Amino acid sequence: MVDEVINAYSRRAAEYIELFGSMSAVHPSDRQLVSTWASGIEGSVIDAGCGPGQWTNFLAERGLPVRGVDLVPKFIERARSTYPDVPFTVGSLDALDAETGSTGGVLSWYSLIHHEPGTIRVPLLNFSRVLRPDGTLLIGFFEGPVVEQFAHAVAPAYRWSVDDLSDELIEAGFDVVESHVRKATGQRSQAAVVARRRDAR
């Protein structure tokens, strides 16, 4: 599935970047949510699944030490050329190259939508590992009443209910802080959850 996703996004990278690769394509409420979340972070941030880097740069402009990570080399090439002062690396969200407890925040903005329900806890556990206690995760995803696959334009993807994804986060070592759902006629329902890394002590 990983290779399928990489290949699918690589084939459509130019189209994806044109449609979604700038902050002008972002819904105002998403911009506000990410900005509010970012204002409470202490320490460095990883934009996990950064795509062409627009959110990474958005966080960098707010003074946060942030780096972007993505599986798709074409996205990282574009991010590096567009935002040369921001660090970007090719890497897997299932095995982030970061020390345990070293990070203040992780942004996962629609970057886990292609993970199957049986595997989504792998990256969530990895996010939990790299976050320091009380560090926070903001995860954006497609929302629905049940966990189910749907025909995403690039590769098969999954929608989650807030409750089901919250259960996965709790099992991965997080406490859910807040959730948001946005629905619009004729569009897929969108959701986001802010979760705090639980102190294991």
Q: Is 43 left (phi over 0), alpha (psi -120 to 50) or beta?
A: left
Query: 147: pLDDT confidence band, cut at 50, 70 and 90?
Result: very high
Q: What pLDDT does residue 36 have?
A: 97
pLDDT at 197 over 60: yes
pLDDT at 146 over 70: yes
pLDDT in tens, 2-14: 556 566 666 665 6
pLDDT at 114 over 70: yes
Helices (H), 89-193: 121-130, 162-171
The average pLDDT across 91-100 equals: 94
For each of the domains in the chain, give its residue range(s) and CATH number, in order of start.
2-197 (3.40.50.150)
pLDDT at 16 over 80: no
Residue of 145, 65, 164 whose CA lies nearest to 105: 65
- When mean pLDDT is compared across 1-5, 147-151, 156-160, the lowest value belongs to 1-5
Residues 6+ apart with CB under 8 A from 189: 142, 143, 144, 159, 181, 182, 183
More confident residue, 105 or 150: 105
Q: What pLDDT does residue 155 have?
A: 67
pLDDT at 1 over 60: no
CA–CA distances in Å: residue 4 to residues 37, 58, 71, 140:
32, 29, 11, 22
Residue of 176, 67, 73 whose CA lies nearest to 130: 67
Q: What pLDDT does residue 23 have?
A: 80
